Structure 1
Amino acid sequence: MAFSSLKSSMRCGARPCARAPAKAARRTVTVVASSVAELNEKYGIPGSVEFKDGKSGSPMVVLKHACGSSAEMYLYGACVTSWKQPSGDEILYVRPDAVFDKSKPISGGIPHCFPQFGPGPMQQHGFARNLDWTVSTTSADPNPDDKDPMVEVVLTESDYTLKMFPYKFKAVYCVSLHGEQLNCELRVINTDDKPFDFTAALHTYIEVLAIEKAKVTGLKGLTYLCKAKDPKTPETKVEDREEVTFSGYTDSVYLNSPSHVELEVGTGAAIALDSSGWEDTVVWNPHLTMKDCYQNFCCVENAKFGKPATVAPGESWSATVTLSVVDVTK
């Protein structure tokens, strides 16, 4: 869907995934569902939450808001691959080389990086993005007049994960629509008898009109790690630009970033990311290393990287982000 004409003024304020009991339809089941039919029977909410066979037959969940916005998330990797405005404009970007047959993580949308962001002792970006997550609950909560569709999925340890990350854990990911906004919340619970550390990120791909027109604002004065030359030994720099623009390969981790960051996409609109708990912001564009698509997207990622999270047994860590479309021409 073309993004060339998108401008929007928000009708609703930001709201993270609600933890209070739903006031309307809510479906919670403990039995693991395996087919789309079973998922719809146990968790589907007509007009708000629907499960479908996605590409390559991989199950996905579709959220629809009464205002006309929508979102799609594959259960494989708990990867949000679409977030559309009521106009039909797509905000996220999925790369043309993306595959959905579970042979590798989905390249685009909002993949997870957990329990490791970037390179390290385990596989790149950890394992959460290449495993099936399990649906735990859905709801469509009036707020106060429209139903906010929500899905919650969980990931726990397995023999596969314990070989890389020798701890028991429960990751809970909540995705919801509040009007035209997309809310994402990640909670990591330590179910082991010993503390563990981790790093994480939401690797958000956002569609832009052209990368040379894209601008990220809100980062001036921050210390950042420039990973463009060597991601394992990044250079430490200080950002002196009011607007971060793109003229070559970009891979920067901005430490202790503000809770509000915006990406101007080149159409008079910007995507605002309002977060809590994430602490850092990653800006990435592959430039000529991906000649077929680099001009069409920019990654602005919420991350927990500069200071890894430490979670004691029985404790948890959580972070949220609300994505909104704003008009920057006013």
Structure 2
Amino acid sequence: MNHSGATSDQRAAVEVSKDKIGIDQVLLHNPRGASVQVSLHGGQVLSWKTERGEELLFISSKAIFKPPKAVRGGIPICFPQVGNGSLEQNGFARNRIWVIDNDPPPLHPNDSNGKAYIDLLLKPSEEDLKIWPHSFEFRLRVSLAAEGYLTLISRIRNINCKPFSFSFAYHPYFSISDISEVRIEGLETLDYLDNLFQKERFTEQGDALTFESEVIMFFQNLLSLLVTKICSFL
């Protein structure tokens, strides 16, 4: 199956198949050989490989690939709640079956060369509306550029125009060979909540965040929410 609306090069780079339990999954290829695998279980990116076949994402050996369990690894979509609250942890979007969006917005002509992409759509079920009574459409575009870059773009539409609040985050699990070599820059002066210290609020002072032990830190400003969680999995 090919993605509707794509150019001939892009159609050849997008394949839709079934996983072991019959859930649709999408494989994106770019001309250089990089690839991205997306499951409609959670609208979740499960694999992102370089043109050399190097896997950049981590999937736990204990991951369960059957709803209603969320897949532990890849890039889960946290919506409409991040962390703990009135809903299940990190919301329900990562546990639902998404569909391929048959009416996606077009790519800009200057952005289409060598790019493979897929558009996914999530709408609330009747059961979802019982636990979170807000009508929405969540559109997710996953694209793989000719250079191998992975981009996720989310658009959330309020259907009934009644105001509602939500929180949202991508929660990537990166495959890292040496945690001591990891640096995250651009967080200086931002406030964060430290989950290992009863969610006490701190302000990041360094020009780069490095890791020597387990951390669970929530960085937040008016425009974005970044969740950084470093831990080990058995």
DSSP 3-state at the match of 2:128: helix
User: Is 1:255–2:225 an aligned residue pair?
Assistant: no
User: Is 1:157–2:124 an aligned residue pair?
Assistant: yes
Query: What letter is aligned with 2:157?
Result: I
**Which protein, 1 or 2, shows the higher relative CO under an 8 Å CA cutoff with sep ≥ 6?**
1
Among candidates 58, 66, 73, match of residue 31 of structure 2: 66
Q: Is the 8 A contact 1:63 1:177 kept in 2?
A: yes
Among candidates 136, 155, 162, match of residue 194 of structure 1: 162
Shift of 1:161: 0.8
Within a 5 Å distance, the mapping from 1:278-293 to structure 2 comes to: 279-287=224-232, 290=233, 292=234
User: In structure 2, what is the equivalent of residue 220 of structure 1?
Assistant: 188
Shift of 1:147: 3.0
User: Is 1:112–2:100 an aligned residue pair?
Assistant: no
User: Could you list the per-position Cα deviations for residues 44-102 of structure 1 after superposition, in whole angstroms to 9, with x for gaps in the alignment?
Assistant: 93x21111222444320001111221101000100001111111111111111111122
Shift of 1:140: 9.0
User: In structure 2, what is the equivalent of residue 210 of structure 1?
Assistant: 178
- Shift in CA distance, 145/244, structure 1 to aligned 2, threshold 3 Å: closer
Q: Is the 8 A contact 2:18 2:24 kept in 1?
A: yes
Query: What letter is aligned with 2:7?
Result: A
Within a 5 Å distance, the mapping from 1:1-330 to structure 2 comes to: 24-25=7-8, 45=11, 47-137=12-102, 146-179=113-146, 180-230=148-198, 234-256=199-221, 279-287=224-232, 290=233, 292=234
Identify unmatched segments of 5+ residues in structure 1: 1-20, 27-43, 258-277, 293-330
- Shift in CA distance, 51/140, structure 1 to aligned 2, threshold 3 Å: farther
Q: Is the 8 A contact 2:68 2:96 kept in 1?
A: no
Query: What letter is aligned with 2:176?
Result: V
C-alpha separation in 2, matches of 1:284 and 1:23: 36
C-alpha separation in 1, matches of 2:160 and 2:111: 39
Identity %: 31
C-alpha separation in 1, matches of 2:220 and 2:109: 37
- Shift in CA distance, 171/144, structure 1 to aligned 2, threshold 3 Å: closer
Q: Give aligned pairs, total.
A: 228
Q: Is the 8 A contact 1:81 1:108 kept in 2?
A: yes
Shift of 1:256: 2.7
DSSP 3-state at the match of 1:205: coil
Q: Is the 8 A contact 1:111 1:204 kept in 2?
A: yes
Query: What letter is aligned with 2:128?
Result: T
C-alpha separation in 2, matches of 1:145 and 1:226: 41
The structure that is strand-richer by fraction is 1
C-alpha separation in 2, matches of 1:88 and 1:175: 19
DSSP 3-state at the match of 2:193: strand
Query: What letter is aligned with 2:225?
Result: D
- Shift in CA distance, 64/249, structure 1 to aligned 2, threshold 3 Å: same
Greater mean alpha carbon deviation, residues 246-255 or residues 178-187: 246-255
User: Could you list the per-position Cα deviations for residues 271-299 of structure 1 after superposition, in whole angstroms to 9, with x for gaps in the alignment?
Assistant: xxxxxxx5232211124xx3x2xxxxxxx
